[in-house]
Structure 1
Amino acid sequence: MLNARAWQKELTRDPLQSVYLLAGEELLVIEAGDALCRRARELGYTERVSMDAGSKFDWNELASAGAALSLFATRRCFDLRLPSGRPGRKGAEVISQWCAHPPADTILLIRCTTWSRKHAAAWSRAIEQVGIAVQLTPPSPDKMAAWLGERLRLRGLDADADALNWLAQRTEGNLLAATQEIDKLAILCPASSRLLRTTLETLVLDSARYDAFGLVDAILLGDSSRAMRVLRGLRAEGEDLVPLLGLLVSQLGVASRLASATDFSAQARLERLWSTRQSQFRCALGRQGNARFWQRLMVWAGRIDRMSKGQAHGNPWIETERLLVAICQPRAAAGLAKV
């Protein structure tokens, strides 16, 4: 499979290939697929047909559409979204047959946002024989700052190394979050601006509202005052509590596994934690290192989730405040939990 750099060269081809497979990180797959569709349109593929190949997708629809002539006698681009990267037996058969006899004046684009070596099969190899397969992987932690710098330059901005490293740490490899921050900066900053870390800290933090990740930062560091401000701000903004609880449960699970591990660093690598997040978890476990404590908090969060859905009695927002206090101040809040 090609890499992202080789993919950029492929977009300049004329004519285009008949079949494309884009697989990997969701944001990168979306952007690469959209770029291909724009290029196809420039070259006269004016009819675009989008299909979502979920678990109940009828693969005969794709086969029939490929065999049928265009109603408008135009060149066509079929945009097939296959998130799982697994078409099943029928889907693999249809794709392989398509590759064996590609329809004239037609492009088939398949987007997969889940991919590993285990996904490679006869159907993907058939694509590589007649078209192009590209694996789009996120930048490694040591390359994240450079990736952010390139994205900023595309938006007419620049930043020094310290600013880029700070932004990389804040977004922790989350490409969607990083892109949103850059979009925000492009709105707030004049074109051709050179951004320093102090500027980024002010703009990003001040405009970040009361974000859920900021809440996680606060509770892991034991900053109960900040945690309360963020939580109440989220409530005032009309945020749904259920997704927030899901985030809290996931972080409590990480804390429980780290507390149970004999080797913190090894477990942190398994959890794919950035250095900043590792430091925050070390701080949290320094306050309470018993894995059972974190497991009890997960049960507590589950009860709050049921409250928010009307399946248990109580005020879920007030109970969430109590939960956050317990995380930030385990000893002082020993009597708060009722699980």
Structure 2
Amino acid sequence: MQVYPDKLEAQLKRQLAAAYLIAGDESLLQRDAVDAIRASAAEAGFTTIETTVQDASFDWQAWRSSCSEMSLFGEQRLLELRLSTAAIGVEGSKAICEYLSNPAPDSILLVTAPRISGKPKWLSQFIQAGVYTPIYPVDSHALPTWLAARATRHGLRLQREAAQLIAEKVEGNLLAAVQELEKLSLLFANANNKQAVVIDLEKAAKAVGDSARFSAFNMLDHALAGQPQSASRALAHLKNEGNDPAALTGPVSYELGKIASLLELKENKRLADGIKSLRLPPKKREIYQRALPRINQTDISRCTMLTARADLLGKSGQRAAAYNAIEMMLLRLAGTPMPNENAILDYSFR
């Protein structure tokens, strides 16, 4: 069966399955699911954990044989298999399917994996014989609600405005979000008081640090995702931190070069091959796949010109004008070009 993370605890309370598959790229949520399964398994007497990590030289037949071996002292085992890739090939698929067709009676299989594309045979077998829990990132709209629910674990009750502020600060970084909740708990929660402490906007603003992952590359990710306001906010953060604009133009130029190469492949109908060859993380790959259909060579040419102008302006001490040029570049990349681009490009050095 397929069980989403918010329903996993209820499933574990009803009945332990013979096998669990937790797959996705959000490490915090994957860890939460694994911890819940471990706790339920231990409570049911599965106290021995045997961990195996799959790598390039992994012997699937040896793993399959070890799973079938009975425990020497009759312990009930939790067999953890950590996949480094979801593309496990024919041999891996066969080994997992064979195990699922005849699981060891004294064991529970727990497989963790990156996000699985499509529906390979071994995944279908998992859904039939065990429990498959897909892990998806928490999108920006759902993050305040997720934070409010998570806060209850720390003895906190977040008001809506406080949850929204924290969500804006952490920019989707769930590990950073949990750290902020832990900080709020240390500052305001009372261990001797079972009642949740209300965190309003004022308390959150005083306590929460700005852990947003603002960097030149993340700034560009916002632009490529068609989020001009987020891109401008990221740029403003970098500016307020005192970064030299010339220090940003290097990473920007590097990224624009990759996009230009991919656009050439798009014209030759080889875009998918080009994206695959870059070996991008899944989230970055998605950003490219969504952005490239709307971006053309003119956009990249203008962005390259604006970036070059920003570099010259920054090195000439024209910091404000350099940041204006970078923002113009971001807005065009986000699909909202400004009519005064030429004014920036024609800016005279004084």
What range is the shorter-chain TM-score in? 0.5 to 0.7
Residues matched between the structures, number:
275
C-alpha offsets along residues 90-124 of structure 1, whole Å, 9 cap, x if unaligned? 110000110111112111111123134x1x22212
TM alignment of 1:1-339, pairs within 5 A = 1-14=2-15, 16-26=16-26, 27-116=28-117, 118=118, 120-191=119-190, 192-204=196-208, 207-208=209-210, 212=214, 216=219, 220-221=232-233, 227=238, 230=241, 249=255, 271=287, 291-295=300-304, 327=326
Q: CA deviation at 1:219?
A: 8.1
Q: Deviations over 1:122-181 (max 9, x none)?
A: 212222232212223344544322211000111111121122223233334443332233
* CA spacing shift, 1:228–1:122, aligned 2, 3 Å: closer
Cα distance change, pair 325–140 in 1 and its aligned pair in 2 (3 A):
closer
Where do 5+ consecutive residues of structure 1 fail to align?
233-240, 258-269, 273-288, 302-321
Residues in 1 aligned to 2:153 and 2:64: alpha-carbon distance in whole angstroms: 39
**Hey, what does 2:266 align to over in structure 1?**
none
Distance 1:48 1:222 in 2: 44
Is the CA contact (8 Å cut-off) linking 1:18 and 1:130 kept in structure 2?
yes
**Aligned-partner residue type, residue 120 of structure 2:** A
Superimposed CA distance per residue, residues 251-290 of structure 1 (whole angstroms, 9 cap, x where no aligned partner) = x97xxx9xxxxxxxxxxxx849xxxxxxxxxxxxxxxx96
Alpha-carbon spacing, 1:71–1:245, altered in 2? closer, same or farther (3 Å): farther
Measure, in 1, the Cα distance between the counterparts of 2:17 and 2:89: 24
Aligned-pair distance for 1:37?
1.1
- 1:211-232 C-alpha deviation (Å, 9 max, x unpaired): 64599599835977x6366367
SS at structure 1 position matched to 2:142: helix
Q: Secondary structure at the match of 2:74?
A: coil
Cα distance in structure 1, aligned partners of 2:37 and 2:106? 15
In 1: Cα distance, 2:113 partner to 2:32 partner:
13
Q: TM-score, normalised by structure 2?
A: 0.62
Match of 2:334 in 1: none
TM (norm. structure 1) is 0.64
Question: Once the 2 structures are TM-superposed, how far is the Cα of residue 245 of structure 1 from its aligned partner?
Answer: 5.1
Q: Secondary structure at the match of 1:11?
A: helix
Distance 2:207 2:299 in 1: 38
User: What SS does structure 1 have at the residue aligned with 2:326?
Assistant: helix
In the alignment, which residue of structure 2 is the partner of 1:278? none
Match of 2:332 in 1: none
Partner of 2:267: none
Q: CA shift at 1:67, angstroms?
A: 2.1
C-alpha distance 60-166 of structure 1, shift in aligned 2 (>3 A) = same
Is the 8 Å Cα contact of residues 22 and 32 (structure 1) preserved in structure 2? yes
TM-align CA RMSD? 4.4
- Taking a change above 3 Å as real, the CA distance of residues 328 and 121 of structure 1, as seen in their structure-2 partners, is closer
